[in-house]
Amino acid sequence: MRKGKPRLGASSRPSAGTALLLSLLLFLLPACRNAQTPSRTQTRYLFDTVIKITVYDPFDDGYYKRAGRQRPDLDQALAGAMNLCQNYETLFSRTIEGSDVWRLNHAGGQPVEISSDTAELLRTCLFYGEKTDGAFDVTIAPASLLWDFHADSPALPDPTALAEAAARVDFRQVSAEGNRVCLRQGAMVDLGGAAKGYIADKTAAYLREQGVEAFLLNFGGNLLAAGGKAEKRLTAPEDLEPFSIGVRDPFGAASSLAASVQLSDGSVVTSGTYERYFELDGRRYHHILNPADGRPVENGLESVTVFSSQSADGDILSTSCFVLGPEKGMALIESLPGVEALFLLADGSRLCSSGATLTGEPGKLQIQPEG
Ligand code: ADP
Ligand code: MG
């Protein structure tokens, strides 16, 4: 029999000196580990949510020498990434005066010259507007601005005003030619259902340009993973371990998980009834709206999580599927190569797309996207 490690029992209580040494070691341990796999994390409030960027530099000198590359400057990359996000907020925000979206919404039907980023995102939104037959509608703004999910004493919008607003929601009222965009009088744009995903993709591209190969972006539950993580310095990217990513249990506390998935590269985006809502007279009113009547969607779904390579697609698709409902939503996912989804329903059932399997409670999710 192997001898067990000595254990600290009542008879071997440490002396004050040993205790001090132990606590010093415990204090130093995380610092040592940091020295082995440097990482930097920054959190900021942007896009009406908390965004968190973590960048890693898990490789040893040999790796960079062999690849003929410079070790990335994590501080510089992180600062640049945050700057980029800040700049996108000043383009896409509906409320920041002078933003592209603000200028579009205040143009009174006149054409407006916007940045190529905003035009690109708008075109993607219009593409999905067609694809979802208007379930995803980037002109949801007249309706969405009548719902205040931050109010101290929330109230329902006036029904007549909401019906009038919903009548103005129609993505076909947007015409775009290059960067010149025109909204028909009365139409307004809200990029809230797509912007975080788009910005995550752009941030990822920027970090890669800076030589950062492993990072995790969390933009208010909109996740984008690259590379993986490491406990100690590695010689090659193949040795990185996947990130463990949780999908929240819609019925539990913020920290309780319905599923977890191991993911090295890719995007995971969830749209749920618990992301932004208020409760009134025992009913929950959340922020994903039916473009037909401007009211929160009620179709038995509690959350939709989409796995894709591009986060812009994932963000738009999670909102879209939520509006489309379990059947049409899953049919849309199945029609798209390389995209998988997990739908959690109010009755406790869980639906997976054909390239995803969920086992156990809480579920372990395996993704094998085809295509
Ligand atoms: P979150 O912002 O919590 O990540 P979503 O990505 O699902 O959640 O986006 C919800 C946001 O999208 C709303 O706050 C609103 O700005 C906008 N939105 C709501 N309903 C729709 C819709 N049917 N089509 C497009 N955008 C929508
Ligand atoms: Mg979305």
| Ligand with the closest atom to the CA of 150 | 1
Cα–Cα–Cα angle for 34, 38, 43, nearest 5°?
Answer: 100
Residue type (1 letter), 213: E
Higher pLDDT, 12 or 249: 249
User: Per residue in 17-33, pLDDT tens?
Assistant: 555 554 544 444 444 44
All residues at 6 or more sequence positions from 138 whose CB lies less than 8 Å from its CB, including other chains = 122, 125, 126, 129, 171, 174, 189, 190, 191, 193, 194
**Mutation pick for ligand 1 pocket among 277, 288, 308 (CB with most ligand atoms within 8 Å):** 288
Per the DSSP assignment, residues forming a β-bridge with 43 are 52
Q: Which atom of ligand 1 is nearest to the CA of 47?
A: 2
pLDDT at 8 over 50: no
Closest CA to 190 of 146, 158, 151, 153: 146
Q: What mean pLDDT do residues 223-245 have?
A: 94
- Distance from Cα 238 to the centre of ligand 1, integer Å: 37
Strand locations in 185-337, DSSP E?
Answer: 214-219, 222-226, 243-248, 257-263, 266-272, 277-280, 283-286, 301-308
pLDDT band at 166 (very low <50, low <70, confident <90, very high): very high
The average confidence (pLDDT) of the chain is 90
- Ligand 1 atom at shortest distance from the alpha carbon of 197: 6
pLDDT at 254: 85
| Two tokens, residue 39 | 């990482």
pLDDT at 16: 57
Helix axes 74-92, 116-131, angle to 10 degrees: 70
Provide the whole-model pTM. Answer: 0.89
Lookup: tokens for 29: 């341990």
Using CA positions, which residue lies closest to atom 22 of ligand 1? Answer: 136
pLDDT above 90 as % of the chain: 82
**CA 319, 199, 132 angle in degrees (round to 5)?**
25
Give residue 317 CA to ligand 2 midpoint distance, Å. Answer: 7
62 alpha carbon – ligand 2 mean position (Å): 41
Residues 6+ apart with CB under 8 A from 218: 51, 52, 53, 54
Average pLDDT of span 302-323: 98
What is the position in ligand 1's atom list of the atom closest to the CA of 138?
25
Provide the pLDDT confidence category of residue 293 given band limits of 50, 70 and 90. Answer: very high
Please state, as a whole number, how many other Cβ atoms lie within 10 Å of the Cβ of residue 223: 25
Indicate if ligand 1 lies below 6 Å from the C-beta of 191. no
**Ligand 1 pocket: which of 319, 323, 324 to mutate (most atoms <8 Å of CB)?**
319
Length of the chain: 371
Q: In testing the pocket of ligand 1, which one of 172, 287, 305, 315 has its CB within 8 Å of the most ligand atoms?
A: 287
Render pLDDT for 56-70 as a digit per residue (tens, 0 to 9): 999 999 999 999 999
Kindly indicate the confidence band of residue 34, based on its pLDDT and cuts at 50, 70 and 90.
very low
pLDDT tens for residues 98-150? 999 999 999 999 999 999 999 999 999 999 999 999 999 999 999 999 999 98
The answer on pLDDT for 213 being more than 90 is yes
pLDDT band at residue 368 using 50, 70 and 90 as cut-offs: confident
Share of the chain above pLDDT 70, in %: 89
Ligand 2 centroid–CA 268 distance in Å is 11
